[in-house]
Structure 1
Amino acid sequence: MGTVNLGAQRDGFQFDAKKDRVLGDRWYSMYSTREPVKFKQEHFEIAMMNVIREPNINSSAILRADILSKVTYKYGGPDVVVKESKCNESQVAYPEAKKLNIDDLQVREVKTSADLDLRIVEKIVRRIVPRNPYKDAIMNQTCLVMRSPAKYPDSSLIVYTPHLNAEDECPFYIPHVKTVGILLHEGILSVHYIPFHNGELLQDESQRVVRTAWRLLQTANKHSTGVMQGYEKRVNHDQVVDKVKFQNRYINLKKQYSKFLVDNWAESTDPTKHVFEDIAIAAFLIELWHKINGPDCKDKMQFRDLGCGNGVLCYILIREGFKGVGIDARHRKSWAIYPNEVQACLKEQVIVPSLLVRPHPDVKKRAPHLEHNGGLFPVKVAHEVIAPATVVYTSEDLLRSPQVNVAEFGPNTFIIGNHSDELTCWIPLLGYPFMVIPCCSHNFSGQRVRFNVRKSTSKGSSKVLANSTYAGLVDHVSYIAERVGWKVEKEMLRIPSTRNAALIGYENPSLSQFPTQEVYDTIIADGGPDGWIQNTMALMTRSPRNH
C-alpha cells in the first residue's frame, strides 16, 4: 500500500499507488474507497453508462460524445450479439478542427486478470468533441462494460481506451495513460490505469494524471449513489432542438464571431457573458427555424427582435443571412461597431401593441374606415429647465410616430423576446410565432409584479423551476400563450444565465384571426393595459438596463 492522501481520506478514498493485483500486472491501482460502497452493480452500471454518453460530467473541457458504434452481448459472455448499432453521422462538423485518428473505429480491447474472469457486455466506440475543437483535438475512444457473471456476479469494470498510440498524443481533457479502468469489486470502488510507459511515474499525487484518477473515483461514487437514491435531473435540456445540431452550430458561430465581438465590446457589461450567451441563442434559433421551415428557412421568414439591447443577436442572425430588424427603446453604443447593413436594421423605437390603438375587431367590422380607436394618453414629462408638463398623445399620433412601433409585421415574421422585460407577457399576444426568454416580471401595464406558479401547471414547469419569482413568471407567460391558442414548447437553454427558460410557440389555429376576443379577455383578466403607453413612452427618457 502506498502513502495515504489525507485530503482523500475525508471523502472516504485512499491513494493506492501500487502495481495492481486485481486487474493484472499491466494495471496500476490508483485510488479506492476505504469502506464498501452502499450502491449495487446495477446502480454503478447505469451511472457509468450515463457518463459514457455524457463525458462532460468528468471534464468541463468536453462538449459531448457522439456514439459511433455500440455492440451489446448476451449476459455472461461475448459469444452472442444481442444488439449492434452504428451512427450514420460520424463525420466531423468542424473541417478546421484538430483531429486525432478519427478514422480509427476499431474497438480496442484490454487484458485483465484471468482470476476475475471478466467478460465484455458492451463495446462502445465514441467520438469525444471538446468544447473548443480548434484548440483541443477531437478523438475516438473505446468504452467497455465488463462483468464476471460466474465467479463475481456483483463485479463490473468500465474501461476507457483512447484510439491513440503515444502519451504525447493525448489531448488535455483525458488522463495521459493508455487505459483507464473503474472497477466495482467485492463492494470496493476503485480507479486503475495502464500507463503508456513507466508506471512508477504514477506514484506522485502532485501530478495532474494522478489527481484526475481521484476525480474519476469521486464522480463514479457520487453518480452511482445518486442512481441508488433515485436522483432525477432537475433540468432537462434539448427538448426542442437536437443537441448535436445546436452544439455544432454554436461552435462554428463562436469561432466566427466571438473574437470580433469581445475585442470591440462597447458596453459597460461583461462581454464574456453577453457575447457567448447571444451566440448560443442565435445557434438555437437558427436550428429551430430549420426545424420549423426547412433548410431554405432564410427565404421563408424574417425576424423581429423586440428589446434587442446591444444588438449582438441581430448582428449574428443578419450576418448569417437571415432578414430581420432589432427594435429597442434606446440606441446602444454597441450598434456603432456593426457593419452598415446591420446598423440599418437596428431601430430606436418603443413598442405599443396595435390592439391598444386600433379599433376593436367588432368595431372595425361595423366601421371599416376607422384606423385608430380615438384613445387619449397623457404622459408626464420632466424637464431640467421648465416646469414638469403633461403631453397628451392620441392613438393617431402613436400610429404615425416614427418613434413608435405598433408591432404590425408581415405574416412570415418570427418574434424574439430575449430578456425583453416589459414586453415579455405581450409577445404571445401579438399574433406571430415567437420565442421569449423571460427575465423580469411585468404585467400588461408595465408595472413590476410577482406571479405565482399555478397549482396545476403545464408539463413539468413547477417541478423544474419550483415556486420562485422566476418560476412564476415563466409559468405565467406559458399560461398566457396557451390561453390564446399557442401550443407552447419549453427549452432550458444552454446559456450562461440562470434565467434560461425559453418558451416557444409556432402553432396556433387562431393565428389568422388575431387579435381574437380571447386576447382582449386575457389582458383584462390580468389587470388590463392602463398605464402601458404612458410607461412605454417614458422609456425613451431612461437609461437602458443591463442584465
Structure 2
Amino acid sequence: MGKGHTSANGGSRTEGYQYDINEKSILGDEWCSMYSTTAPIKFEKSHFETAMMHLIREPNINSTAILRADILREAVFEIEPNGKPKVKEEKTQDLEVTDPEAKKIGIDDLDVRVAPTNPLLNLHVVIQIVRRIIPRNLYKDAIMNQTCLIMNSSSSKPSTSLVVYTPHIKAEDECPFYIPHVKAVGILFHNNVLSVHYIPFDNVELLRDESQRAVRTAWRLLQTAYKHSMGIMEGYEKRVNHDQVVDKVDFQDCYIAFKKRYSKFLVDNWAESTDPKKHVFEDIAIAAFLFELWKKIYGKDFKEKIQFKDLGCGNGALCYILISEGIRGKGIDARRRKSWSIYPPDVQAALKEQVIVPSLLLRPHPEVRKRIPHLEHNGGLFPVKVAHELIAPATIVYSSEDLLQSPQVNVTEFSPDTFIIGNHSDELTCWIPLLGYPFIVIPCCSHNFSGERVRFNVRKSTLQSSSKSLGNSTYAGLVDHVEYIANRVGWKVEKEMLRIPSTRNAAIIGYENPFLDQFPTQEVYDVIIEDGGPDNWIQNTMALMKRNPRSH
C-alpha cells in the first residue's frame, strides 16, 4: 500500500490507513495520534497480541539497522479479584556487553518505564518486558534498553490492547537512529481500529510533516502491525526457522567480532571478479557459525581437538578467517584462485591446488582387504581424453595406483580429528557424507556421483516436513537428497538455515555416527550404486584441472 498525499486540513489517506495529527489521541493529552486504519479490522485482539509479541522479540523486522533484541526482564501479570495486578511469571537474564568499543546508552538502566494512559480506558499491564536492542553496526549506532508493555482493558467490552515502547533515554538527542525520536510509541487495538500514537519530546510541529522520518516510521509501524496480525489470523506459519543448531546470540556476537576483524581487509583486497560485499560477509557468517558449532560440539578448547578440511575452498576467504582464529586446517580446490596470494604466508601454505578423488574409488573393497591385507589399490584404469592445440587429441590412462600416489590428487584420507567443510562444493556435495568424517555441507549446484548435473526430486515423506521451507525446487531436491544420503549411512543429521546473504543457505550437519570406525561401510557402496554409480567421476574430476574455476 502506498502513502497518500497530505491534504489541506493536515490529514491524508492511504488505501486503508489515515493520517491526522490534528486529531486528539484517545490515549491521553500527552499523546499525539499519528495513523489509524480507516475500515474495521478483521483480526481479533489475540491475533494482534501474538503478532506484537513476535515483533517485540524480533525488532529487526521493523528496522534493517537492528540485529536483534536481548530480553533482560520479562514479567507476566494476572488480575486478582480485587482488581490489582499480580506477577504470575517473572524471568531475568544478566547479559553483558563485552565489546569495549561498542556504543552504549544507559544499558545499566533496567527500571521499567510506564507511560501515562487515559484512565477512562482502564488499561493494566499484562506483559512487561525490558529488552536490549543490538544494532547491526554497534560501532555506529548505540546499544539501548527499552521497556515494552502489553496492556489490556479491565473490561471485556470494548476489547482493547495497547503496546507501548519506551526507550531508556533522557533526551531526544540520545535517540539512536533506528528508533523514532519520541519519548514513547503506542500501537493501539481498540473498537476494531488499529492506530499508532507518539508521546513527543518538545517539537510537536515536526510530527505534522509527513516527510519527517518519525512520521514515516509511524506509518510503517502501523502497516507492519496490521500485516503480521492478519498473518496470525490467517494461520501463517514461518517458512524458515533459523537458529536450530547454534544459539542466535552466540552466532551474532561472533559474526560482529569477525566482521570487525576481517571484512575491511577482504573487501579492500578482493582479487576475484565476483562481488566482494556478498562473498566476504557470507564467508564471515559461515566462519562464525562454524566457530560456535565446534564450540558446542567439542567444547571451548575445540581448537586443540579438531582440524578442518575445506573441500572446494574457492577463494579461500573462509580458510583465511578460520586459520587466523587459530584453527588448524587446509583448503583444497582443483584450481588456484587469484585471492590466495593476498593472504598471509601461513594461510597460503594451507591452500592446496588438488583435485579430489575419494579413496573408496581407488582402494579395494573392505571385504577384499580382509582377504588380501597387503593390497593397496583396486587395479582400476581410468582413460581421460585430452586435447592439445598442436597435436591430435589423445587419451591418458590413469591407474588407481597412479592417483593414490599423485601430489595433484587428494584422496580424502585425513587424520581422525578432521571436520570436513563443503561450502557450495558442487560435484563434491553428495560425496562428503560418505567420506567418514564429521561434516557440514552447504549445497549449491546439483550433481550426482558421476559429477554430472542432475535434478533430485524431494521425497514425498519430506515434502510436508523438513523441506517445507524450500518447497519442491531443484535446490530443495538437492538439500533433501544430501540429507537422505547422510541419514542412510548412519549420520545423525541436523539442518540449519544459515543467516547468510544467499538463497542457497541450507546447511546439512553430521557429527555423530555409530559406524564411523567402519567406513566405508557396505551401505556407503550401496548408496553410490543405487544413485547411478560413480562412472566417469574420476574422468570428470581430472578434467577439472584444465577448466576455469566457477564463481558462486
- TM-score with structure 2 length normalisation? 0.97
Counterpart residue number, 1:82: 88
User: Residue 189 of structure 1: which of 190, 194, 215 is its match?
Assistant: 194
User: Residue 50 of structure 1: which of 35, 51, 54 is its match?
Assistant: 54
| Range moving further from structure 2, 293-302 or 193-202 | 193-202
| Range moving further from structure 2, 146-155 or 126-135 | 146-155
User: Residue 473 of structure 2: which of 468, 487, 496 is its match?
Assistant: 468
SS of aligned partner of 1:265? coil
Q: CA deviation at 1:245?
A: 0.3
SS of aligned partner of 1:191? strand
Equivalent position amino acid for 1:85 in 2: K
Deviations 1:349-376 (A, max 9, x none): 0000000000110111111111111110
In the TM superposition, 1:387-466 aligns within 5 A as 387-457=392-462, 460-466=465-471
Q: CA deviation at 1:71?
A: 1.3
Deviations 1:86-105 (A, max 9, x none): 013x1014221100000101
Query: Separation in 1 of the partners of 2:245 and 2:332?
Result: 26
Q: 1:151 to 1:471 in 2, by over 3 A?
A: closer
Q: CA deviation at 1:461?
A: 2.1
Equivalent position amino acid for 1:135 in 2: K
Counterpart residue number, 2:155: 150
Query: Separation in 1 of the partners of 2:448 and 2:127?
Result: 54
Deviations 1:93-125 (A, max 9, x none): 422110000010110111111111111111110
What residue ranges of structure 2 are gaps of 5+ in the alignment?
1-6
User: Residue 490 of structure 1: which of 495, 498, 501 is its match?
Assistant: 495
Counterpart residue number, 2:10: 3
SS of aligned partner of 1:59? coil
| 1:30–1:213 Cα contact (<8 Å) kept | yes
In the TM superposition, 1:31-50 aligns within 5 A as 31-50=35-54
Q: CA deviation at 1:75?
A: 4.1
| 1:72–1:82 Cα contact (<8 Å) kept | yes
Query: Separation in 2 of the partners of 1:422 and 1:313?
Result: 19
In the TM superposition, 1:323-402 aligns within 5 A as 323-402=328-407
In the TM superposition, 1:159-198 aligns within 5 A as 159-198=164-203
- TM-score with structure 1 length normalisation? 0.98
Query: Separation in 2 of the partners of 1:349 and 1:288?
Result: 27
Query: Separation in 1 of the partners of 2:187 and 2:86?
Result: 25
Matched, 1:281 2:325: no
Counterpart residue number, 1:260: 265
| 2:10–2:208 Cα contact (<8 Å) kept | no
CA RMSD of aligned residues (A): 1.2
SS of aligned partner of 1:123? strand
Counterpart residue number, 1:512: 517
Query: Separation in 2 of the partners of 1:389 and 1:20?
Result: 87
Deviations 1:117-148 (A, max 9, x none): 11111111000000111111100000011111
Query: Separation in 1 of the partners of 2:414 and 2:183?
Result: 60
Counterpart residue number, 1:292: 297
Query: Separation in 1 of the partners of 2:464 and 2:376?
Result: 41
Counterpart residue number, 1:532: 537
Counterpart residue number, 2:3: none
Q: CA deviation at 1:250?
A: 0.3
Q: CA deviation at 1:460?
A: 2.3
Counterpart residue number, 1:207: 212
User: Residue 122 of structure 2: which of 117, 139, 147 is its match?
Assistant: 117
Equivalent position amino acid for 1:29 in 2: S
| 2:85–2:124 Cα contact (<8 Å) kept | no
Q: CA deviation at 1:78?
A: 5.3
What residue ranges of structure 1 are gaps of 5+ in the alignment?
none
SS of aligned partner of 2:119? coil
- Percent identical pairs in the alignment equals 74
SS of aligned partner of 2:383? strand
In the TM superposition, 1:211-250 aligns within 5 A as 211-250=216-255
Query: Separation in 2 of the partners of 1:235 and 1:79?
Result: 37
Q: 1:69 to 1:475 in 2, by over 3 A?
A: same
SS of aligned partner of 1:462? coil
Query: Separation in 1 of the partners of 2:20 and 2:92?
Result: 38
| 1:78–1:120 Cα contact (<8 Å) kept | no
Counterpart residue number, 2:4: none
SS of aligned partner of 2:262? helix
Query: Separation in 1 of the partners of 2:65 and 2:175?
Result: 14
User: Residue 94 of structure 1: which of 99, 110, 124 is its match?
Assistant: 99
